[in-house]
Chains A and B, each alone.
Chain A
Amino acid sequence: MRRFALKVAWGLLTLPLLLGAQNTGTTTLSVAVGPEAALTVNTATTTLATASTTFGTPFTGTTNLTYFIRTTKTGGTGSITLKVTSDFAGTGGPSVTTPPSTGDALTYTCTVSAPGTACTGAQTASTAAATAFGTWGAAANSVKAGNSASVAWSLTDDPVYATGTYTATTTFTISAL
């Protein structure tokens, strides 16, 4: 009986040698995930147009964006703003900085899909300051592919504008804490 037990023990000891050797090592991968934000402007050029020829309807157009956001779980916030970084070029046309007539303006309304909150009502775009577009609270996460948002523009159609094509540049800024 003892001899049999010894044979079994020897067999178990030599089994790994017959089958080959194996060894392992383990590492822990650690990552700290912080608040982040990014956006993509899907409509690189937004054409403002009007179907009216009687000055009754402003020039309108829509800019579509995709936003990516992650805010801190506790106390986190996020926001997106826009600013006209380059006013309409050319003389005699519309102007954000110095509108030719009282009441002329480039205004916009916002649409921001959940978990964001869009700005309320019509906002007047400015070259001097960033204006509201959308906000997020704590623990806000977009999906991996991003969430949608859009800006609906409205530009007064003032008869004093000289005919021609005018271009302005608007910059969106998104941030997260």
Chain B
Amino acid sequence: MAKTNQILRGSSCWLLWLVLAIVPRTYGATGAGTQTLTATINPIGSISVPGSTNLTTSMTTFQPFTGALVLSYRARTTPAGAGTITMTVTSDFTPAGGPSAASGDLTYVCSGATLGTACSGTQKASPTTQTPVVALPASSCTGGGGACSTPDPNSVNLIFNLTDSPAYGTGSYSAKVTFTISST
């Protein structure tokens, strides 16, 4: 009997706790809370180029080798910032006995930048200097239209021109060109 009373007392305590816990929910309650979401939008840039570009000539009379490349990029610059896309020859033509960017054999022209301004005139590619491809103004941004560009990603066309000197030995030659996008 004593044990039965103890069980009933224990059950009452749990029942009371359950009622107290449910009542407020049953009758409703309101509350408010605020949370500040902060996003820091930083300048950013990304770039994409084909893994390889063939330079060819349709002539056999020492006309230049040419090749076209479409460079894709996304960029965002700050209102006080700017951006650039540059290129450098990170590995000159190999093997030896062929063309040489260091000797000024490789040039390029840029056109059709869908964000920013493409380089003007003929640029001489260099293994020692970053040469211009695209200049991005302040407050540039890729995609979405409005204040940003409509195309996403943006693109710029490059046409490479390689001197065809009779002094080159016959054979296949390759060089690596690295493009760098920077934005602030």
Interface residues of chain A, those whose CB is within 8 Å of chain B, are 17, 19-38, 68-73, 76, 139, 141-144, 146, 176
Interface residues of chain B, those whose CB is within 8 Å of chain A, are 40, 42-56, 59-62, 65, 67, 69, 71, 81, 90, 93, 98-99, 106, 160, 162-184
Chain B residues with CB under 8 A of A22: 45, 180-183
Q: Indicate if the CB atoms of B173 and A27 lie closer than 8 Å.
A: no
Q: Indicate if the CB atoms of B60 and A37 lie closer than 8 Å.
A: yes
Given pairs A34-B170, A70-B167, A70-B170, 4 additional interface contacts (CB within 8 A): A24-B47, A32-B171, A38-B62, A73-B170
Chain A residues with CB under 8 A of B171: 32-33, 73
Given A141-B168, A141-B169: A27 touches B61 (CB 8 Å cut-off): no
Chain B residues with CB under 8 A of A143: 166-167
Question: A149 vs B11: C-alpha distance in the bound complex, in angstroms?
Answer: 119
Q: B166: which of A19, A32, A69, A73 is its contact (CB, 8 Å)?
A: A69
Q: Indicate if the CB atoms of B179 and A26 lie closer than 8 Å.
A: yes
Q: Which residue of chain B lies nearest to A17 when distances are taken between CB atoms in the complex?
A: B42
Question: A24 vs B181: C-alpha distance in the bound complex, in angstroms?
Answer: 6
Q: Indicate if the CB atoms of B166 and A36 lie closer than 8 Å.
A: yes
Total number of residue pairs linking A and B with CB closer than 8 Å? 147
In whole Å, how far is B166's beta carbon from the nearest beta carbon of chain A? 4
Chain B CB count within 10 A is highest, among A21, A71, A73, for: A21
In whole Å, how far is B174's beta carbon from the nearest beta carbon of chain A? 5
Chain A residues with CB under 8 A of B93: 29, 31
Chain B residues with CB under 8 A of A20: 43, 81, 182-184
Can you name 21 A-B pairs with beta carbons within 8 Å?
Answer: A20-B184, A21-B42, A21-B43, A22-B180, A22-B182, A22-B183, A24-B178, A26-B176, A27-B52, A29-B174, A31-B65, A31-B172, A31-B173, A33-B164, A33-B172, A36-B59, A36-B60, A36-B166, A73-B169, A139-B170, A144-B165
